[in-house]
Amino acid sequence: MPTRDDGRHPLSILMGGPWGAIEAMAPTALFVIAYFSFNNNLTIAVGVALGAAGLLALIKIRRGERPIRVLTGLLGVAIAALWAAYSDDPLGFFQVRVLANVLSALAFAISIFIRRPLIGVIVGPLLGTGMRWRSDPDLVRGYSRATWLWVLLSLVRAGIQVPLIAAGQLAWLGATPFLFYGLVALTVAGSWWVMQRTLPAGHPGIRTPQSETSEPDR
């Protein structure tokens, strides 16, 4: 994910481009592929997942991405892989992902109630507007409504994985990142639609926060 506005569609920044897709899908898919390819060898599967995550982290560092994003992606895979190794169960990799989605939904919801919706917190600095959107009631309202979509996304992902884990469907779980990336794309599109529907006529847009006392350019 870029560290500043690069001229792309504002909320499309959340997708992370081609590298965002690879990061979202590769470690999980490779974990499952390696597990089945090497006669259910969990050690090799864990090593492959960690190796993929480490390589992606190095690429992101070379691309100048923010350290917090690099560390978050790496830790997400590392914790899931190490829990699978500790529990001696490949399904453990996905149990951690379910917990992460539940916690993500909770974080998104709390951010709305404290009037710091996470979509605004993430997108604002990337667009170069920082947190100035917090002085704009229309943008606060728009970001809050858009953030609810991300609450729903996190709960849907957890809801898909739980029955697959219960049924021991490791192969299907390995395919979920491809489905989830599609759901993220829909959520990004939905977020932009919600923002557009929320902002009143005459508002200069997401890139130009207005204070409560200022008049939008017309």
DSSP one-letter string for 35-85: HHHTTS-HHHHHHHHHHHHHHHHHHHHHTT--HHHHHHHHHHHHHHHHHHH
The percent of residues above 90 in pLDDT, for the chain, comes to 66
Query: By residue range, what is the domain housing residue 98?
Result: 10-198
Q: What is the pLDDT of residues 124-151, one digit of tens each?
A: 887 888 899 999 999 999 999 999 999 9
Q: What is the pLDDT of residue 68?
A: 77
Q: What is the pLDDT of residue 78?
A: 95
**Domain presence at residue 213:** no
Give residue 61's pLDDT band: very low, low, confident or very high (50, 70, 90): confident
Q: What is the pLDDT of residue 12?
A: 58
Counted domains in the chain: 1
Q: What angle do CA 189, 117, 103 make, to 5 degrees?
A: 90
- Reading the block at residue 103, the tokens are 């916690």
Helix (H) or strand (E) holding 170: helix 170-198
> Is residue 105 scored above 80 in pLDDT?
yes
Q: What is the pLDDT of residue 217?
A: 40
- Predicted TM-score (pTM) of the model is 0.86
- Reading the block at residue 192, the tokens are 């932009």
- Reading the block at residue 178, the tokens are 């491809």
In angstroms, the CA 142 to CA 144 distance is: 5
Mean pLDDT for the stretch of residues 46-69: 87
Q: What is the pLDDT of residue 4?
A: 47
**Domain presence at residue 122:** yes
**Domain presence at residue 106:** yes
> Is residue 58 scored above 60 in pLDDT?
yes
Q: How many CB atoms lie within 10 A of CB 136?
A: 24
- Averaged pLDDT of the chain: 88
Of residues 192 and 217, more confidence is placed in 192
> Is residue 5 scored above 60 in pLDDT?
no
Give residue 215's pLDDT band: very low, low, confident or very high (50, 70, 90): very low
**Domain presence at residue 205:** no
**Domain presence at residue 70:** yes
> Is residue 27 scored above 80 in pLDDT?
yes
> CB under 8 Å to 143, separation ≥6 — which residues?
117, 119, 120, 123, 133, 195
Range of 17-26, 105-114, 207-216 with top mean pLDDT: 105-114
**Domain presence at residue 206:** no
Lowest-confidence region among 97-106, 119-128, 137-146:
119-128
**Domain presence at residue 150:** yes
Lowest-confidence region among 21-25, 89-93, 179-183:
21-25
**Domain presence at residue 4:** no
